[in-house]
Every structure is written in C-alpha cells, then in structure tokens.
C-alpha cells in the first residue's frame, strides 16, 4: 500500500531537554538549492516543500570551520548514496514493469 506525497513535521518538547524537530519529506515537490549569502559571505543548502524548509549553513553563521567542511562532505556523500540507491531501485522497477508488460519475453 502506498500513500500520496506528504511532508511530515514533528516537534517534541520535554522538560529539562532540548526540543527535537523532525522533518520527513516524501514528495516530488521537494526543492533543493544552494548558494552563497552575499551580505555575510557564507554558503547555504536549502531543502524545502510547501510545508517545511530546512536551511543549513556554517557554524554560528560565521567563517567556515573544519567541522563545517566535515559536515559538507557528509552531506555530499549521503546525497551520492541516496542518488545511487534511487537509481538502482528505479532500474529494478523499470525492469519489473517491462517484464510484466511483456510476459512472453
């Protein structure tokens, strides 16, 4: 069973604990962009849908640190894995669809 596209946002707040915000994008309406803010030069990455926005930038919105570079590399590597997984599943699904459309082959 498959549901339609959606964005799921949760906020958990407990006494004596930091709040926890969770955002799950399950929509083709997801937009991803990046750039450089010119007023205070710093890079940013943005993921957004109609329901939620996520902005990622440098530590304390300041100069780029070693930690910022490590985080950017983690984002890059995770995005590459996500792309590879999507491409692999898409290829499998396409092959399954072709086999179902042509059972005599």
pTM of the model: 0.78
> 103: pLDDT confidence band, cut at 50, 70 and 90?
low
Residue 73 has pLDDT above 90, yes or no: yes
- Close Cβ partners of 32 (under 8 Å, ≥ 6 residues apart): 45, 46, 47
Label residue 2 by pLDDT band (50, 70, 90).
low
User: What's the average model confidence in pLDDT over 74-96?
Assistant: 96
- Rg value, the chain, Cα: 19
Best CA proximity match to 36, nearest among 58, 59, 54: 58
pLDDT reading at 4 higher than 90 = no
Reference 56, options 69, 43, 65, 67; nearest CA is 43
Average pLDDT value over all residues in the chain:
90
């Amino acid at each position: 069973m498959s549901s339609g596209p959606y964005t799921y946002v949760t906020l958990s707040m407990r006494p004596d604990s930091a709040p926890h915000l969770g955002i799950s994008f399950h929509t083709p309406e997801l937009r991803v962009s990046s750039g450089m803010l010119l007023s205070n030069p710093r890079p940013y990455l943005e993921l957004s849908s109609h329901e939620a926005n996520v902005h990622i930038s440098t530590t304390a919105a300041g100069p780029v640190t070693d930690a910022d570079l490590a985080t950017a590399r983690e984002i890059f590597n995770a995005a590459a894995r996500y792309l590879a997984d999507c491409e692999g599943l898409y290829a499998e699904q396409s092959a399954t669809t072709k086999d179902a459309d042509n059972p005599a082959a």
